[in-house]
């Protein structure tokens, strides 16, 4: 029979305190254990990642008449990220797996329907009227998403060697309406001849970028 003051180990993550400890010491140990439990529960830990390849279908992304099509590049890179995460044991939910248009509301609904500790990462490529623009930008809306944004951003910049254009806060629909930790990554400019060619045509470069995004995600979620 279990002693009435013993905490069942199979029913709680809080530490077991032997009954012969003094009341004050037992209370202190209990409080420390409770604080650790609260801290651990607040960490971003998720086995599920929602990957959102930007654009698709009749929405090609980018600017009119740009040489490389964003919707194609985002899907290719997202599939590489998916493979890396699956190989590491994560569950991955894709908002699209082929060239189809998915409404922003539907993308957010997919994310909000995922497990509570899932994270959402939207994959995009940038564009600009000035073809010399280049570099990496990463966006988040809520402060609790900042850590994931910074983790992905730092690794993509390091892997590509491209200009660091910063981690920024933005009111993009897929971030603002998302109830999960949510990040939007702009992985380079398709309107830049060199950066665009690397993103659209170089399998090696695409894998480098995908591995960096996956590594950033894995540094935050477990």
Q: What is the pLDDT of residues 117-147, one digit of tens each?
A: 999 999 999 999 999 999 999 999 999 999 9
Q: Do residue 29 and residue 124 come from a single domain?
A: no
pTM above 0.75, yes or no: yes
Provide CB contacts within 8 A for 99, sequence distance 6+: 56, 57, 71, 72, 75
In angstroms, the CA 100 to CA 96 distance is 7
Average pLDDT over residues 187-208: 98
Number of domains, the chain? 2
Give me the CATH number covering residue 137: 3.40.630.40
Q: Do residue 23 and residue 66 come from a single domain?
A: no
Q: What is the pLDDT of residues 159-173, one digit of tens each?
A: 999 999 999 999 999
Domain contains 9: no
Q: Do residue 93 and residue 117 come from a single domain?
A: yes
Q: Do residue 34 and residue 70 come from a single domain?
A: no
Write out the DSSP string of 16-75.
P--TTS-HHHHHHHHHHHHHHHHHHHHS---SEEEEEE--BTTB--SSTT-SS-HHHHHH
Q: Do residue 36 and residue 99 come from a single domain?
A: no
């Amino acid at each position: 029979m279990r002693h009435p003051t013993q905490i069942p180990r199979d029913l709680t993550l809080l530490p077991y305190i032997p009954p012969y400890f003094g009341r004050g010491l037992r209370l202190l140990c209990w409080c420390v254990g409770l604080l650790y439990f609260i801290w651990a529960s607040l960490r971003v830990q998720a086995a599920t990642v929602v990957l959102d390849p930007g654009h698709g279908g009749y929405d090609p992304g980018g600017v009119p008449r740009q040489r490389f099509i964003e919707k194609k590049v985002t899907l290719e890179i997202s599939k590489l990220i998916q493979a890396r995460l699956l190989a590491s044991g994560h569950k991955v939910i894709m908002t699209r797996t082929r060239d189809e248009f998915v409404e922003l509301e539907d993308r957010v609904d997919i994310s909000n329907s995922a497990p509570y500790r899932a994270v959402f990462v939207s994959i995009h490529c940038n564009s600009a009227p000035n073809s010399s623009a280049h570099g990496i930008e990463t966006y988040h809306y809520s402060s609790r998403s900042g850590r994931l944004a910074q983790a992905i951003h730092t690794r993509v910049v390091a892997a590509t060697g491209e200009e660091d254009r910063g981690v920024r806060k933005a009111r993009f629909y897929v971030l603002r309406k998302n109830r999960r930790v949510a990040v939007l990554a702009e992985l380079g400019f398709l309107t830049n001849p060199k950066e665009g060619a690397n993103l659209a045509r170089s399998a090696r470069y695409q894998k480098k970028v995908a591995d960096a995004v996956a590594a950033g995600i894995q540094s935050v979620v477990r």
